[in-house]
Amino acid sequence: MPVTHARIAPSCYLLESRVLDVLKAIATQFQIGGVIISITPLGEGNVNETYQVTCQENIFQDQILQEQLLRRYVMQRINTAVFPRPELVMANINVLANHVASHPLDKDWVMPTAIPIRNSDQTWLEREGQFWRMLTFVENAQTLQTIGSTQEAQQVGRALGVFHHLVSDIPTDALADTLPGFHVTPGYFQTFQNGLAEALATPNAPISQELETCLKFVDQRAGRIDVLEAALARGELQSRPIHGDPKVNNVMLCSTSGCALAMIDLDTVKPGLVHYDIGDCCRSGCNRQGEESEDINAVFFDLGLCQAILEGYLSAAKGTLNNHDFDYIYDAIHLITFELGLRFLTDHLAGNVYFKVNRPDHNLHRAQVQFKLVESIEQQESSIRSIVERLRP
């Protein structure tokens, strides 16, 4: 029996016992230790379905119970509408695991790895057309939904820097392109235009004032959408291994020290521009109100957090950026924020088929939040550029 997967965040519903039974049956197919004692929804992802699986292992000596070990795992159903080739996603995660195994990791840095299914080295399970995987759980760590202090901002930036440094010597041809067109803004713009034409062709399609404002906003910025791709085509920027989704809640901070110790959500690790990552990390980290802010007018881009994120990043990326790379940091922050707004808006026009939503205008609202952030970035362009200049070696 397939698990139902309405496009709502898993944390919004309690697991029915029927669903739990199915999840348990799936989890036991993987090489996990002990007896499953609970499965609960985990995280805030917009794409995959994520669960925490907790197992208990009883350690006996001379038939006397010595210890009860609790082990946690992360089980996910990969959204195949977004990742049509999940086996490539898993292949990339394995490339990362092998790379890390042959490289000394920074002290206290953890790379989540995939757990194979029983009696096999395959790291995913296909069941009734759905793809499942089990990952190691990063213990003694937490994620933030939004950044509250410059110390946290430094750590979020440092996490991305450590990650980039770590993967910088993986040859790009060793990584599959799991999501062609990901972060290629001109492609998203084309999809948006097609979606808009289709929506406008529908007789009597209602266009709210909010939608009309968003459409105008996009139209006014159409001229700069190829800034990164054009620099790539001119050879000023190069494709390198990237994380692809370094938003704040994909960084794990040690619960004791507050130091970054892992980057999770490795689905979008693939060749790309490090600028997509730097831009996305600042986009997400410098918005104190968060992506889901109810109050759009309260949204702004925080310069102090931006400086701290970039400082943290550069302290750990260890010279992976050259002069041209610095030239495009402002553009990256601006473009990736605009791009996410455009992606939300496109999904709204398409009827919410990509990002999980919990109300019909959810993606429109998310687009408005990102566009408000874009405006704030534009208003502070010279200050952001000055921060980048001060950090240029």
Is the Cβ of residue 46 or residue 143 nearer to ligand GN1 in the bound state? 46
Total residues interacting with Mg ion, rule: CB under 5 A: 2
Among residue numbers 141 through 180, which ones bind ligand GN1 (CB under 6 A)?
Answer: none
Per-residue x/- mask for ligand GN1, residues 284 to 303, rule CB under 6 A?
A: -------x------------
For the stretch 116-131, what's the b/e string if a residue is b when 16 or more beta carbons lie within 10 angstroms of its beta carbon?
bbeeeeebbbeeeebb
Binding partner of residue 46 among Mg ion, ligand GN1, none, CB under 5 to 8 Å per kind?
A: ligand GN1
CB of 352 to ligand GN1, least distance (A): 13
Segment near ligand GN1 (CB under 6 A), from 40-48, 85-93, 130-138, 227-235?
40-48
Neighbouring-strand partners of residue 13 = none
d(CA 255, CA 261): 10
Is the Cβ of residue 265 or residue 311 nearer to Mg ion in the bound state? 265
CB of 164 to ligand GN1, least distance (A): 17
| First and final C-alpha spacing in the chain | 58
3-state secondary structure of 191: helix
Chain residue whose CB lies nearest Mg ion: 245
d(CA 290, CA 99): 33
Among residue numbers 62 through 91, which ones bind Mg ion (CB under 5 A)?
Answer: none
Query: Counting beta carbons within 10 angstroms of the beta carbon of residue 330, is it exposed (0 to 12), middle (13 to 18) or buried (19 or more)?
Result: buried
CB of 266 to ligand GN1, least distance (A): 10
Segment near ligand GN1 (CB under 6 A), from 44-52, 162-170, 204-212, 379-387?
44-52
Among residue numbers 208 through 267, which ones bind Mg ion (CB under 5 A)?
Answer: 245, 265
> Is residue 49 a contact residue for ligand GN1 (CB under 6 A)?
no
d(CA 336, CA 286): 13
d(CA 134, CA 150): 34
Is the Cβ of residue 111 or residue 388 nearer to Mg ion in the bound state? 111
Among 42, 55, 82, 342, binds ligand GN1 (CB under 6 A): 82
Contact 58, 68 (CB under 8 A): yes
CB of 364 to Mg ion, least distance (A): 21
**Which amino acid is located at 26 in the chain?**
I
Longest dimension (CA), the chain: 77
CB of 172 to ligand GN1, least distance (A): 19
The residue to which tokens 């730097």 are assigned: 278
d(CA 114, CA 116): 6
Is the Cβ of residue 13 or residue 16 nearer to ligand GN1 in the bound state? 13
HSE-CB of 236 using CA atoms within 13 angstroms: 14
Among 22, 42, 47, 309, binds ligand GN1 (CB under 6 A): 47
CB of 48 to Mg ion, least distance (A): 7
Query: Counting beta carbons within 10 angstroms of the beta carbon of residue 30, is it exposed (0 to 12), middle (13 to 18) or buried (19 or more)?
Result: buried
Among 76, 123, 268, 370, binds ligand GN1 (CB under 6 A): 268
Among 92, 159, 184, 265, binds ligand GN1 (CB under 6 A): 265
Contact 79, 48 (CB under 8 A): yes
Segment near ligand GN1 (CB under 6 A), from 14-22, 43-51, 271-279, 295-303?
43-51
The residue to which tokens 């400086």 are assigned: 307
d(CA 252, CA 231): 32
Binding site for ligand GN1 (CB under 6 A): 45-47, 82, 245, 247, 265, 268, 291, 340
Query: Binding residues for Mg ion, per CB under 5 A?
Result: 245, 265
